[in-house]
Structure 1
Amino acid sequence: MRSLLLPKLLVGGLLVSSVAACTSDDDAGRSGASQSPGSSASSGPPTQGGGTGGEPAAKAPGAGKPKYTGFSSPTGLAYGRDGSVYVSNWSAGTVERITRDGKRSVHVKGLQAPAGLAVDRQGVLYIADYNADVVYRAPAAGKLEKFASGFHTPTGISFDSRHNLLVTNRASNELMSVSPDGRSSRVADELRTPVGVVEAADGTIYVSNYEGGVLSRVTRDGTVETHSKDFDGLGVGIVADKAGSVFVTDRTAGAIKRVARDGSITSVLTGLSSPVALGIDAEGHLATATWGDSAYYEIPS
């Protein structure tokens, strides 16, 4: 194993000294393999504070105290049907499960670099392994099955209304769709370092792009349009609520932001230390996990 970024880790333009990520030596030559999911492999770190990101951060509440700590570069977050929450530990190669009463356990281990997480309608967990170019399913604790492979640094994943799994191919700038039986097809290309994806209630697909700080809208025919821009450094975390708003992690800004249907941006939580993961439960409550302090925060409604 080769340490990637020691003693400091690059996360969306922030240098964090307390976290180290690893990958295999044979991944060193792949595009994006030695980078964090949202860092820029082609041009280095972006300028911090490079975008306006909508409403000034001072108008949003601060992060406050985390509910859980002690993660290892938490990158993906998803809720199970029973209300439990799953968090992927990028550096440790594990996914943790936290029950509703706060009990924590390692759900699966042995992954190379687990990134985005998603849960299907049966409650089965899916995991994008960024360095392995594979999406796994975990039907039970301690059990991993290969669901689909042949990706190019798969990062963010989520299910659409047709029960297909949407996958962002970060290295090849593509959005892929995987059918329930594991067949992959390309939905769109010419994205800009895509790291997160979600389908909104009206069927619109949104993709967070690290490069350029752009949130894209993808039509059914694969056309890519700019929905909103001027983010400082979008992360893997992106979710949508039942009202049609989209929420994103703007890591370089240390904020969670709401994007309205008209593309306007409002900060809903600030003062975070490089937020990467974002999840929403069945009741519309939001939570995020941060790389900078390896913590999990619940977001005030």
Structure 2
Amino acid sequence: MAGLTKISSDFNAPTGIAFDSKGEMYVTDWSNNSILKINANGKKETFYSGISSPAGIVFDAKDNMYVSSYGDDYILKINRDGKSEKISDGYHTPTGIAFSNQGQLLITNRSTGEIVSLDLQTKQKNIVARGLTTPVGVTQLADNSLVVSQYSGRLTMISPNGTQTELGAEFNRPGVGIVLIAPNVVAVVDNGAGMVRKIDVQSKKVTTLVSNLSQAVALAYHNNRYYIGTWGDGSVYEFNN
């Protein structure tokens, strides 16, 4: 597809993608139990290893990295100097993670159908959404509504008062990768269809951005470009829309 470029390959299972403040890319490699750093020409280097099934990955404003361990049910923090610590545990297959508008960490508890909010200062956890089915990705809109992707086929918007609106009628299996790209527009990996789609959450209009992807899982949006991790061929792609 025009605009789609493979920038790195030979991953085991690229699941999450994030960029630090310098624009450097990091990828969680699920089956390889590691986090990889990708340089400008696509060369990989191991940044961190020994984390069981790393999934979601985000950076805060100080370039602290946060990663969910799906296999061991904890959140790992790695600071800019490379020091790591487990900052929170007791989750249930935590998968995609994202920052809330208030700076808390939102964590998808896949096996219990919940979204958990973690206060990074107090380490207090609160369940902010229940009743989901295999949630794997989450993002937050400007009005504090959540949009959650679920492998069950659901894409659900949850308003601040708890009202749930289903958006996934045109989706096959929404995956881990979900990002806010405009005030009311979310881009989502459709793992089951091998696509990345965007949806206007108000009109529910769905547009296909990229197709013919092999088991797409990861998605990031950086400098107006999409970055997609695919399990089928173990690659990371850049898409310029």
| Contact in 1 for aligned 2:178/2:219 (Cα 8 Å) | yes
Q: Name the counterpart of 1:268.
A: 209
**In the aligned structure 1, how far is the partner of 2:47 from the partner of 2:82?**
6
Backbone CA RMSD of aligned residues: 1.7
Q: Is the alpha carbon distance of 1:293 and 1:220 closer, same or farther for their aligned partners in structure 2, counting shifts above 3 Å? A: same
**In the aligned structure 2, how far is the partner of 1:141 from the partner of 1:263?**
43
Shift of 1:131: 1.0
Aligned counterpart for 1:278 among listed residues 213, 219, 240: 219
> In the alignment, residue 73 of structure 1 is paired with which amino acid?
A
Task: Give 1 or 2 for the bigger CA radius of gyration.
Answer: 1
1:90-120 Cα distance to aligned partner (Å, 9 max, x none): 0110001123464532111101110111111
TM-score normalised over the length of structure 2? 0.93
State, as a whole percentage, how many aligned pairs show the same letter: 33
- 2:34 equivalent to 1:106: no
1:247-291 Cα distance to aligned partner (Å, 9 max, x none): 01111211000111321211100111010000011x232110100
Aligned counterpart for 2:59 among listed residues 106, 119, 123: 119
- More off after superposition, 195-204 vs 114-123: 195-204
| Contact in 1 for aligned 2:7/2:42 (Cα 8 Å) | no
Q: What are the within-5 Å matches in structure 2 for residues 211-222 of structure 1? A: 211=152, 213-222=153-162
Instruction: Classify the secondary structure of the residue corresponding to 2:193.
Output: coil
Q: Name the counterpart of 2:97.
A: 157
Aligned counterpart for 1:134 among listed residues 63, 71, 74: 74
> In the alignment, residue 89 of structure 1 is paired with which amino acid?
D
Aligned counterpart for 2:131 among listed residues 185, 190, 209: 190
Instruction: Classify the secondary structure of the residue corresponding to 2:170.
Output: coil
**In the aligned structure 1, how far is the partner of 2:82 from the partner of 2:34?**
10
- 2:156 equivalent to 1:206: no
Q: Is the alpha carbon distance of 1:202 and 1:223 closer, same or farther for their aligned partners in structure 2, counting shifts above 3 Å? A: closer
Instruction: Classify the secondary structure of the residue corresponding to 1:229.
Output: coil
Q: Name the counterpart of 1:259.
A: 199
Query: When you count strand as a share of all residues, which structure comes out higher?
Result: 2
> In the alignment, residue 13 of structure 2 is paired with which amino acid?
S
| Contact in 2 for aligned 1:115/1:127 (Cα 8 Å) | yes
**In the aligned structure 1, how far is the partner of 2:20 from the partner of 2:136?**
22
Instruction: Classify the secondary structure of the residue corresponding to 1:67.
Output: strand
Shift of 1:65: 4.4
| Contact in 2 for aligned 1:128/1:136 (Cα 8 Å) | yes
| Contact in 2 for aligned 1:166/1:177 (Cα 8 Å) | yes
TM-score normalised over the length of structure 1? 0.75
**In the aligned structure 1, how far is the partner of 2:36 from the partner of 2:81?**
10
| Contact in 1 for aligned 2:134/2:150 (Cα 8 Å) | yes
- 2:189 equivalent to 1:246: no
Shift of 1:167: 0.4
Structure 1: 5+ residue stretches without partners: 1-60
Structure 1 runs, 4 residues or longer, greater than 3 Å off: 61-65, 99-103, 140-143
Structure 2: 5+ residue stretches without partners: none
